[in-house]
């Protein structure tokens, strides 16, 4: 069998795994949109069967043999060729999937399934003690998972790799600490600032149908193709790249607050542009057709949500249109006041409701805690105290109850340890990428002022989307911007924006 034939067999096999994954994606989308409630049990049965089939197909020994054969073939000569990239990343994925003992996977499924139920009740009752034993169990299993994977440095690296392949605590720790210190300072300045936005502007009556029209218009202007995608309503917004020709975004509308759907839709459309910009026609079912990491994915959504959607140039074009749609609620509102309102900074308990500035502080706190938990430096029993004291230190407010504190997020009960940092990585990357885009497209902001968003989209597609997994995240950011992970662009961007809005 020639290397070419082996490679074709390998990618034929991974394509089947991807088709099973894309089938699950349709089922999951349906579950979150239109499925009747009593269909839930059957849906779980379908999804669990498909996941089992995909796992069996991907961990087939034949896949391992094909990868091993190809690793010593000519196809890996140019390490950045699609073939070499696919072989490199499939090796990485195959090793991870085959290293986990089945018994551990099953115990994780059982434990997290129960932990989620306990967490729901614990959060409802704001009763950390109820959740604590389950957090302990999950952490123990995550430690076993890290040991099974193997790692350099500390076990957290092995878990982080599930979401941000190749990233390590060493890469991010210092950048995160710097970011945290600068954000705490910035937040102090904002709180004591002379000018304060009038947020009531965005908390009036906003008809849902009109919000939808506006959201679709903006998504179209961004380049989201509704012939190869959809926008639907759901409880917890997300984006799902089902496969070539089919990318779906989901949002939710609040008839009394504009921000949720407005920035939520741009956020998900940003994810959607990444998914649909991946070279899936040529590389569907292989790493070259897939996104790099959660952090890079988040950088795409955050850039459209924040660097674009919360920018003055964007609203110079879109505000008159919005004002025309919501004649009453936006009657007589000045662009500057609207711009200040959508950029209001106010420390609050709940991460998913946090503003652009304080959001990262929520994440950094979680990263610090879960890392300490995994190392054993922090005991689960001490999480509430540690959470609350750091929360006050960083955000300046006292947590009133654990449901507003360490019990608010679903992640740990799902076993998602090492996931949180990708949110802030996404923010940092997005500022770095956007800086670079402005350098390479010098009239970008003037384009925004004319409502032209497509050139940014083309730039992102060329530099990031079309690359698939050619580069790992840390390499991609260097490749695109010329520098490694760096908190400076984030801080500079925020200082400039909030300085203008808050007058300091």
Q: What are the φ and ψ backbone dihedral angles of 258, each rounded to 5 degrees? A: -75, -35
Is residue 12 near its own copies by the rule CB under 8 A? no
Q: Which residue in 4, 5, 8, 39 binds its own copies (CB under 8 A)?
A: 39
What residues contact residue 313 under an 8 Å CB cut-off, 6+ apart?
445, 446, 448, 449
Is residue 27 near its own copies by the rule CB under 8 A? yes
Q: Which is nearer to its own copies, 21 or 499 (CB)?
A: 21
Q: Which residue in 9, 46, 91, 98 binds its own copies (CB under 8 A)?
A: 46
- Smallest separation, CB 66 to its own copies (Å): 20
User: What is the per-residue binding string for its own copies in 275-314, x denoting contact by CB under 8 A?
Assistant: ---------x------------------------------
In whole angstroms, what is the distance from residue 473 CA to residue 477 CA? 6
Q: Which residue in 155, 223, 243, 405 binds its own copies (CB under 8 A)?
A: 243
Candidate ranges 38-46, 320-328, 331-339, 407-415; the one touching its own copies (CB under 8 A): 38-46
User: Exposed, middle or buried, 132 (CB in 10 Å: 0-12/13-18/19+)?
Assistant: middle
38: annotated active-site residue: no
Tokens of 146: 């890290």
- Smallest separation, CB 1 to its own copies (Å): 24
Q: Which residue in 41, 152, 209, 328 binds its own copies (CB under 8 A)?
A: 41
Is residue 152 near its own copies by the rule CB under 8 A? no
- Smallest separation, CB 280 to its own copies (Å): 9
In which residue are the tokens 């012939």 written? 227
Looking at residue 289, the DSSP 8-state letter turns out to be G
Count the helix, strand and coil residues of the chain and give each as a percent rounded to the nearest 5.
Answer: 70, 5, 25
Is residue 37 near its own copies by the rule CB under 8 A? yes
In whole angstroms, what is the distance from residue 272 CA to residue 297 CA? 9
Is residue 51 near its own copies by the rule CB under 8 A? no
- Smallest separation, CB 20 to its own copies (Å): 8
Residues contacting its own copies: total by CB under 8 A:
37
**Helices 3-33 + 61-71 axis angle, to 10:** 130
Looking at residue 305, the DSSP 8-state letter turns out to be I
Q: Which is nearer to its own copies, 249 or 417 (CB)?
A: 249
Is residue 44 near its own copies by the rule CB under 8 A? no
Candidate ranges 16-24, 251-259, 369-377, 399-407; the one touching its own copies (CB under 8 A): 16-24
User: Which is the catalytic residue, given 32, 118, 164, 268?
Assistant: 268
Is 29 in contact with 230 (CB distance < 8 Å)?
no
Is residue 43 near its own copies by the rule CB under 8 A? yes
Q: Which residue in 101, 245, 482, 503 binds its own copies (CB under 8 A)?
A: 245
Q: Which is nearer to its own copies, 229 or 380 (CB)?
A: 229
In whole angstroms, what is the distance from residue 415 CA to residue 138 CA? 6
Q: Which is nearer to its own copies, 17 or 406 (CB)?
A: 17
In whole angstroms, what is the distance from residue 418 CA to residue 420 CA? 6
Please tell me whether residue 363 adopts helix, strand or coil conformation: helix
Q: Which is nearer to its own copies, 33 or 81 (CB)?
A: 33
Tokens of 478: 């260097």
Q: Which is nearer to its own copies, 225 or 389 (CB)?
A: 225
Is residue 49 near its own copies by the rule CB under 8 A? yes
In whole angstroms, what is the distance from residue 298 CA to residue 94 CA? 25
Q: Give, in order, the Cα–Cα distances in Å from 160 to each of 123, 291, 422.
A: 26, 16, 9
In which residue are the tokens 């897939």 written? 290
- Smallest separation, CB 271 to its own copies (Å): 16
User: What is the per-residue binding string for its own copies in 197-236, x denoting contact by CB under 8 A?
Assistant: ----------------------------xxxxxx-x----
> Concatenated DSSP letters for 108-134?
HHHHHHHHHHHHHHHHHHT-HHHHHHH
- Smallest separation, CB 350 to its own copies (Å): 31
Length in residues, the chain: 504
- Smallest separation, CB 245 to its own copies (Å): 4
Is 405 in contact with 384 (CB distance < 8 Å)?
yes
Q: Which H or E element spans position 470? A: none
Is residue 42 near its own copies by the rule CB under 8 A? yes
Q: Which is nearer to its own copies, 230 or 401 (CB)?
A: 230
In whole angstroms, what is the distance from residue 8 CA to residue 26 CA? 27
What is the distance, to the nearest Å, from the Cα of residue 197 to the centroid of all Cα atoms in its chain? 28
Is 296 in contact with 429 (CB distance < 8 Å)?
yes
Q: Which residues bind its own copies (CB under 8 A)?
A: 16, 19-20, 22-23, 26-27, 30, 34-43, 45-46, 49-50, 53, 225-230, 232, 242-246, 248, 284
Residues belonging to the active site: 268
């Amino acid at each position: 069998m020639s290397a070419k034939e082996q490679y074709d067999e390998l990618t034929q096999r991974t394509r089947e795994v991807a088709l099973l994954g894309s089938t699950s994606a349709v089922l999951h989308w349906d579950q979150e949109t239109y499925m009747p409630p009593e269909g839930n049990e059957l849906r779980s049965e379908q999804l669990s069967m498909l996941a089992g089939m995909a796992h069996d197909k991907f961990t087939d020994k034949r896949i391992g043999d094909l990868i091993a054969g190809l690793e010593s073939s000519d196809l890996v000569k140019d390490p950045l060729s699609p073939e070499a990239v696919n072989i490199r990343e499939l090796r990485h994925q195959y090793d991870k999937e085959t290293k986990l003992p089945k018994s551990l996977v099953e115990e994780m499924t059982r434990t997290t399934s129960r932990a989620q139920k306990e967490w729901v009740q614990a959060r409802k009752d704001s009763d950390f003690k109820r959740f604590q034993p389950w957090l302990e169990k999950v952490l123990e299993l995550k430690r076993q998972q890290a040991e099974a994977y193997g790692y350099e440095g500390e076990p957290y690296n092995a878990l982080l790799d599930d979401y941000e392949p190749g990233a390590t605590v060493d890469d991010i720790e210092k950048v995160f600490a710097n970011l945290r210190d600068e954000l705490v300072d910035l937040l102090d300045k904002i709180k004591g600032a002379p000018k304060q936005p009038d947020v009531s502007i965005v908390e009036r009556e906003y008809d849902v149908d009109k919000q939808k029209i506006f959201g679709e218009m903006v998504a179209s202007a961004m380049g989201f193709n509704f012939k190869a995608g959809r926008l639907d309503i759901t409880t917890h917004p997300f984006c799902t790249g089902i496969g070539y020709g089919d990318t779906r975004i989901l949002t939710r509308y609040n008839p009394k607050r504009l921000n949720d759907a407005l920035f939520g839709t741009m956020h998900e459309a940003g994810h959607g542009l990444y998914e649909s910009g991946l070279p899936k026609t040529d590389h569907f079912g292989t790493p070259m057709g897939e996104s790099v990491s959660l952090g890079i994915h988040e950088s795409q959504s955050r850039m459209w949500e924040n660097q674009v959607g919360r920018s003055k140039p964007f609203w110079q074009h879109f505000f008159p249109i919005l004002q025309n749609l919501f004649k009453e609620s936006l009657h007589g509102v000045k662009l500057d006041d609207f711009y200040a309102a959508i950029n209001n900074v106010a420390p609050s308990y709940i991460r998913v409701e946090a503003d652009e500035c304080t959001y990262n502080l929520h994440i950094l706190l979680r990263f610090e805690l879960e890392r300490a938990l995994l190392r054993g430096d922090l005991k689960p029993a001490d999480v509430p105290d540690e959470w609350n004291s750091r929360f006050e230190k960083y955000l300046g407010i006292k947590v009133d109850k654990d449901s507003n504190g360490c019990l608010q997020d679903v992640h740990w009960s799902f076993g998602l340890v090492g996931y949180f940092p990708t949110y802030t990585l996404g923010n940092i990357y997005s500022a770095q990428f956007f800086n670079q885009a402005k350098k390479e497209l010098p009239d970008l902001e003037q384009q925004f002022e004319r409502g032209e968003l497509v050139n940014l989209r083309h730039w992102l597609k060329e530099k990031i989307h079309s690359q698939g997994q050619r580069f790992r995240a840390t390499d991609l950011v260097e490749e695109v911007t010329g520098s490694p992970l760096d908190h400076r662009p984030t801080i500079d961007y925020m200082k400039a924006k909030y300085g203008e809005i808050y007058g300091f």
